[in-house]
Chain A
């Protein structure tokens, strides 16, 4: 059964297409991820699916309801962990959860038990009476996750759930997310620009770049598209010449240039091909500065499709434009 369905979803800001005809569907109980660099349109997609932004074109159904026409029905059934902190810093952790529960229509009596249960789950019981402004980044993230769960949503939206967290806290948040699906059968839609996060958590991943979905499938299927091993050779000069040589000698069929000085290609057996490629380069007078290979990751899938890394551009032109527009009157 499909619980999220987007058809040609499009959002245009000031003539810029933030999300461009995006179509996908998410099955019940699935963890579905949007993987892409910053500014790719992930948050805008979440904003449209969670009813707080209207699509310019196209439509989406969440839990069977239209996100524009039946927004309140959608809101009842979803929980959202926004990328920015949506807690009230003046209130305590407990009060924030209480506030969240009440505006979602949970009765007072039920709320008490649920809050204490969830605070236990995220291990913040001892902090429940402390004002949120004194929390650390990881604590804020966990409390926000708990708040999103108070009303027991069928579908959970997580926008960059581990952004800015240290590795230990990230691993803990991952465990919470996996635990949620296992224990409560919640369907989860998440966005991330960390490929390890997408690989670890998601059943299926849509890779999004510049507002468009460029690939969609399980992490394993996506990685198989790339091939087996990925070889990287960084050279001091004449990378173009090396690419030609590799093709001519039949060592690689489609070598790619990454940046200015790195050549990458996929092969079946990197531990045999890599030394051959290095000696080929040196015979031609090209000095290899660095050589390594890896089993393919989702990062390679992205690289393979776009010719760029996931974190090449910290902020896109679009984000920059938005930041400039914010300061003005509308």
Chain B
């Protein structure tokens, strides 16, 4: 049996090589969040002025409020869509290569999730660096916790993505997942509007969303403003990351080529 650390390492490394090789994807996945930050951030910041409105965003300007969310969003999307590429592996036959090797399934999928999360983390770091330029008032000392929040959010959605991809057998399913899972997770993550002013149904849905806690924790570390206590967010994020990793392992262990 191939040992755990080798299996994790190989799978991790493959995800990294793949990401680096696909240069256009690399560039677009960093540029996209920066464009959101600049255009939506600046646009709404100048539309939403005045003391009353500032109050809604915890005393922050709109762009300052949104920036931490964009950092987490960038890692969330990258991790989710890399994880979904289990579908591609199945379609292109690569999955068989792994299934027929004497390698613990759990190790191979954990390595994969780790690789996706590493890529996502690197990207969050680039977007964070850009955010410091666009929004100089973000706290430099909060960078570490903000990136930790991004990593945990990435691990969680990577687990979720792998679990879904293990169950879905076609390209067509991919667009449906994007519509039904990725977009709602983004819109309900309190990146664009605060939890406190949401209608009840939306706040409930949002507080079930793991990404919400990543965004809230990153916002706390970068601006000092948050809805939940940071320890609360961190513990929920950790639980989600663990639960979805287990779910992914279980779903992937059951996946077959049939």
Q: Measuring CB to CB, which residues of chain A are less than 8 angstroms from any residue of chain B?
A: 13, 47, 50-54, 72-73, 75-76, 78, 80, 82, 84-91, 95, 99-100, 102-105, 131, 147, 326-330
The reply on B170 being an interface residue by CB < 8 A is yes
Q: Are A86 and B101 in contact (CB under 8 A)?
A: no
Q: Tell whether, in the assembled complex, residue A87 and residue B94 are in contact, meaning their CB atoms are under 8 Å apart.
A: yes
| Cβ–Cβ contact A89 & B92, under 8 A | yes
Taking a contact as CB atoms under 8 Å apart, the answer to whether A103 and B257 are in contact is no
| A105-B1 CB under 8 A given contacts A80-B100, A89-B92, A328-B170 | yes
A328-B97 in contact given A52-B257, A90-B21, A91-B14 (Cβ < 8 Å): no
Residues A104 and B14 in contact, CB atoms below 8 Å apart:
no
Could you tell me which residues of chain B, from 72 to 106, have a CB within 8 Å of some CB in chain A?
A: 92-94, 96-103
Give every chain A residue within 8 A of B97 (Cβ-Cβ). 82, 86-87, 100, 103, 147
Cβ-based interface call for B22 (8 A): yes
Q: A52, B14: Cβ atoms under 8 Å? A: no
Q: Per-residue CB proximity of B107-118 to A under 8 Å, as 1/0?
A: 010000000000
**A82-B92 in contact (CB<8A):** no
Q: Give Cα A326–Cα B7 distance, bound, in whole angstroms.
A: 29
A-B interface, 10 closest residue pairs, ranked by CB to CB distance from nearest: A105-B2, A75-B102, A84-B93, A86-B93, A103-B101, A86-B97, A102-B10, A76-B102, A52-B99, A72-B102
Chain B residue nearest to A89 in the complex (CB)? B92
Contacts of B21 in A (CB 8 A): 90-91, 131
How many Å lie between the Cα of A208 and that of B119 in the bound state? 48
User: Which residues does chain B contribute within 8 Å of A84, judged by CB atoms?
Assistant: 92-93, 96
Q: Is the CB of A105 within 8 A of B6?
A: yes
Q: List 18 A-B contacts (CB under 8 A).
A: A52-B100, A52-B257, A53-B257, A73-B102, A76-B1, A80-B96, A80-B100, A84-B96, A86-B94, A86-B97, A88-B94, A95-B17, A102-B6, A103-B6, A103-B11, A131-B21, A328-B169, A329-B170
Write out the residue numbers on chain A whose beta carbons fall within 8 Å of the beta carbon of B172: 327
Contact status A85-B168, CB under 8 Å: no
The A interface, classified by DSSP as helix, strand, loop or mixed, is loop
Contact residues of B with A, CB < 8 Å? 1-3, 6-7, 9-11, 14, 17-18, 21-22, 92-94, 96-103, 108, 167-170, 172-173, 256-258
Query: How many whole Å from A72's CB to the nearest CB in chain B?
Result: 5
Given A90-B21, A131-B21, does the pair A326, B169 have CB atoms closer than 8 Å?
yes
Chain B residue numbers with a CB within 8 Å of A95 are: 17
Q: How far apart are B148's CB and chain A's nearest CB, in angstroms?
A: 29
Among candidates B9, B18, B96, B170, residue contacting A82 with C-beta atoms closer than 8 Å? B96
Interfacial chain B residues near A53, Cβ < 8 Å: 256-258
Task: Give the contacting residue for B18; candidates A54, A90, A328, A329; CB below 8 A.
Answer: A90
Q: How far is the CB of A194 from chain B (nearest CB, A)?
A: 21
Query: Please, how many angstroms separate the alpha-carbon atoms of A192 and B210 in the complex?
Result: 51
* Cα A104 to Cα B258 with chains together (Å): 23
Q: Could you tell me the distance between the alpha carbons of A91 and B13 in the complex, rounded to whole angstroms?
A: 11
Is B1 in contact with A327, judged by CB distance below 8 angstroms?
A: no
Q: Is the CB of A99 within 8 A of B258?
A: no
Q: Which residue of B lies closest to A107 (CB)?
A: B6
Q: Report which of B9, B100, B169 forms a contact with A75, defined as CB distance below 8 A.
A: B100
* Contact assessment for A103 and B10 in the assembled complex, using a CB-CB cutoff below 8 Å: yes
Q: A154: shortest Cβ distance to chain B, in Å? A: 13
A103-B2, A104-B2 known; A327 and B100 CB under 8 Å? no
Which of B94, B167, B168, B256 is in CB contact (< 8 Å) with A52? B256
State the CA gap A85–B94 with chains docked (Å).
7
Q: Which of the listed residues A52, A103, A329 has the most CB atoms from chain B within 10 Å of its own CB?
A: A103
